[in-house]
Amino acid sequence: MIQEGRVTSMEEVFMGGYQVKEPQIVDALLPDLQEEVININLVQKQTDAGEKSRFKAVVAVGNRDGFIGLGSGKAGQVRNAIEKAAASARLNIIPVRRGCGSWECGCGKPHSVPFEIDGKTGGVRIVVVPGPRGLGLVASEVAKIILGLSGVKDCWTRSYGSTRTVPSFAYAVFDALKQTYNLITPSDWVK
Ligand SMILES: [Zn+2]
| Ordered per-residue pLDDT tens for the chain, 191 residues | 766 777 888 988 888 888 888 999 999 999 999 999 999 999 988 888 888 889 999 999 999 999 999 999 999 999 999 999 999 999 999 999 999 999 999 999 999 999 999 999 999 999 999 999 999 999 999 999 999 999 999 999 999 998 889 999 999 999 999 999 875 545 555 54
Residues at Cβ < 5 Å from ligand 1 ion: 100, 105, 107, 133
User: Amino acid identity, residue 116?
Assistant: E
Dist. CA 105 → ligand 1 center (Å):
4
Dist. CA 166 → ligand 1 center (Å):
30
How many other CB atoms sit within 10 Å of the CB of residue 27? 13
Strand ranges (E), the chain: 34-47, 50-62, 67-75, 94-95, 117-121, 124-130, 137-138, 155-161
Dist. CA 75 → ligand 1 center (Å):
43
Give the predicted TM-score (pTM) of the model.
0.90
Dist. CA 134 → ligand 1 center (Å):
9
Distance CA 117, CA 101 (A): 11
The per-residue pLDDT of the chain, averaged, comes to 91
Dist. CA 12 → ligand 1 center (Å):
27
Dist. CA 165 → ligand 1 center (Å):
32
Which pLDDT belongs to residue 191?
Answer: 47
Dist. CA 100 → ligand 1 center (Å):
4
Dist. CA 97 → ligand 1 center (Å):
14
Q: CA angle 56-35-38, nearest 5°?
A: 40
Dist. CA 101 → ligand 1 center (Å):
7
Dist. CA 65 → ligand 1 center (Å):
16
Dist. CA 13 → ligand 1 center (Å):
29
Dist. CA 115 → ligand 1 center (Å):
12
